[in-house]
Amino acid sequence: MSFTEEIKKRRTFGIISHPDAGKTTLTEKLLLYGGAIQEAGAVKSNKIKKSATSDFMEIERQRGISVATSVLAFSYNGTKINILDTPGHKDFAEDTFRTLTAVDSVIVVIDVAKGVEEQTEKLVEVCRMRNIPMIVFVNKLDREGKDAFDLLDEVEQKLNLKVTPLSFPIGMGYDFKGIYNIFEKNVNLFTSQSKQHKGETIAIQDVNDTNLDTLVGASAASTLRENLELVEGVYPPFSREAYLNGEMQPVLFGSALTNFGVRELLDCFVQIAPPPRPKRAEERDVQPSESNFSGFVFKIHANMDPKHRDRLAFVKIVSGTFERNKPYLHVRLQKKLKFSSPNAFFAEKKEIVDTSYPGDIVGLHDTGNFKIGDTLTEGEQLHYKGIPSFSPEHFRYINNADPMKAKQLFKGIDQLMDEGVAQLFTLEINGRKIIGTVGALQYEVIQYRLEHEYGAKCSYENFAAYKACWIDESKAKADELSEFKRVKQKFLAKDKTNQLVFLADSHFSLQMAQQKYPSIVFRFTSEVVE
């Protein structure tokens, strides 16, 4: 197969939603249709002790939530699909925001009963800013929920999207009969008896066909005809060009838990979703079809396999082909590296690949060379933009709870901080270590992973801080800087890269410091700090 054909057959997308909208369940069912797994694991059912394929960390299996982005790949109808299943919980949003830099399109999952929720709004805002094409999947139709038109209005108003339905439900909850597929012009009938059902699909070219009355009943058929007339009158016809430009968002309905509407979603996605798209670097726009390889690190994960203590850097390939054992330039370090065992992913299962193409995600074994945002090329100096890093909102001292395991604790903290899950600060005055996170739940995850992956135990104490500000010493006046360091010594720390950080204890004290020391630049880490 030619290089161009390889690019055309790839689809790399992320699944985003508020927690509990059914994101991980949908991922499972997509894998089921792709033939990648034989039986889907019920994510929250205690009866079935299987857990979701994409939730591969032990803490995820216990809590029934995703705390890290996982990468899954499978083939479907001649298309190579790469799914990035992201955490929905707001405490892990940083991982999700970074992942959105590596996708070419997105599926937004919305719960039919709860509608548009807060976390969905934030994530969609990021996608809209980047013009990422979005498909909306309204989930859990087998339960009682909001009226389909009310939901479509809510999606338009709250998410500021321009929607067009490509399928429409026939009833809902107890009266749920199935879905009329506007895109393919057929009816998919729902039978509640089978949870692993794949749906009986019957082609109906014309909704006025009397066969429809026989299939779903005269009343439901009549309501569907009225609804479809309304859809035609209110919503614009689907335009793939508008969708690809981020100007129109198609909506499909279904129930991931009962496998319903998932095949329709997948078939539609494969047809309309974009192959790998160009990516903006600081220097220029990079096209996937370019022959020279380039890619960037959007995620680092320590202990993918706790038995082997391996640490993997996830690289999204932007252009050219990535080949095993070929030397590539690490742009930040300005040194050549080669990789003997690049991995392709299926959750925590990995296989070594010889050649990867634009759109693919490869995992590179890392001994500490990589940081999030790093670029690999065949020699060109490229720096890919838009890998966000957030200023922490929560701060706690971290204490060693087992003095015999000090070495394991420090190694664990060091590696987990490289993943970008949190930031480590060392106080100048006494050398105590402080961990800053975006969400409080991160502390629990860090504690759990330190114990189960590194055999180290830690405890926390609160540290009262309002914000972390990076101090740019380069332009500061010497006398101002030394006075600032003397007065604020209690609140000064060094980060992992040895940069000076001011841990302001309140909004007022930060304002006062900015006014009193005008030559000092206080930076908030909206960008990755180099």
Residues 292, 428 within the same domain: no
Confidence at residue 453, expressed as pLDDT on a 0 to 100 scale: 79
17 confidence band (pLDDT: 50, 70, 90)? confident
How far is Cα of residue 398 from the mean position of the Cα atoms in its chain?
A: 28
* Mean pLDDT along residues 87-96: 54
The domain of 414 spans: 394-523
Is the pLDDT assigned to residue 36 strictly greater than 70?
no
- Bridge partner list, 276: none
95 confidence band (pLDDT: 50, 70, 90)? low
Most confident of 16-20, 51-55, 304-308, 424-428: 424-428
Bigger pLDDT: 53 or 109? 109
* Mean pLDDT along residues 486-501: 89
**pLDDT tens digits for 140-160?**
888 888 889 999 999 999 988
Q: For residue 228, is it within any domain?
A: no
- The pTM for the full model equals 0.74
Q: For residue 63, is it within any domain?
A: yes
Residues 29, 147 within the same domain: yes
Determine contact, residues 404/441, Cβ cutoff 8 Å. no
Domains identified in the chain, total number:
3
Which among 75, 71, 127 has a CA at the least distance from the CA of 104? 127
Name the DSSP class of 115: B
- Bridge partner list, 249: 163
Token pair for residue 490?
Answer: 């209690």
528 confidence band (pLDDT: 50, 70, 90)? very low
* Mean pLDDT along residues 210-217: 78
Determine contact, residues 259/32, Cβ cutoff 8 Å. yes
Q: What is the CATH number of the domain that holds 469?
A: 3.30.70.3280
Residue 283 CB coordination number (10 Å): 12
Residues 25, 144 within the same domain: yes
CA–CA dist 134, 271 (Å, integer): 14
Q: For residue 203, is it within any domain?
A: no
**pLDDT tens digits for 346-381?**
644 667 888 999 999 888 888 778 888 889 999 999
Bigger pLDDT: 497 or 400? 400
Residues 264, 288 within the same domain: no
Q: Of 343, 377, 411, which closes a domain?
A: 377
Q: For residue 514, is it within any domain?
A: yes
Residues 407, 519 within the same domain: yes
Determine contact, residues 110/136, Cβ cutoff 8 Å. yes
Q: For residue 190, is it within any domain?
A: no
Give percent above pLDDT 90 in the chain. Answer: 30
Helix (H) or strand (E) holding 507: helix 507-516
310 confidence band (pLDDT: 50, 70, 90)? low
Residues 51, 148 within the same domain: yes
* Mean pLDDT along residues 384-411: 82
| Residue-by-residue DSSP string for 223-287 | HHHHHHHHHHHHSPPP-HHHHHTTS-EEEEE-BTTTTBSHHHHHHHHHHHS--S--EEBSS-EE-
Which among 290, 238, 530 has a CA at the least distance from the CA of 389? 530
Residues 122, 265 within the same domain: yes
Is the pLDDT assigned to residue 190 strictly greater than 90?
no
Q: What is the CATH number of the domain that holds 364?
A: 2.40.30.10
Q: Of 272, 295, 323, which closes a domain?
A: 272
How far is Cα of residue 480 from the mean position of the Cα atoms in its chain?
A: 43
Q: For residue 185, is it within any domain?
A: no
Burial state string for 215-233 with b = 16 or more CB within 10 A and e = fewer than 16: bbeeebbebbeebeeebee
Residues 350, 421 within the same domain: no
Q: For residue 211, is it within any domain?
A: no
Q: For residue 195, is it within any domain?
A: no
Residues 152, 244 within the same domain: yes
Q: Of 222, 254, 272, which closes a domain?
A: 272
Residues 22, 162 within the same domain: yes
Average predicted confidence (pLDDT) for the chain: 81
Residues 296, 358 within the same domain: yes
Token pair for residue 475?
Answer: 């332009």
Burial state string for 294-322 with b = 16 or more CB within 10 A and e = fewer than 16: bbbbbbbbbbbeeeeebbbbbbbbbbbbb
Confidence at residue 251, expressed as pLDDT on a 0 to 100 scale: 94
Determine contact, residues 404/444, Cβ cutoff 8 Å. no
CA–CA dist 346, 343 (Å, integer): 10
Q: What is the CATH number of the domain that holds 35?
A: 3.40.50.300
Token pair for residue 209?
Answer: 């066909």
Residues 336, 285 within the same domain: yes
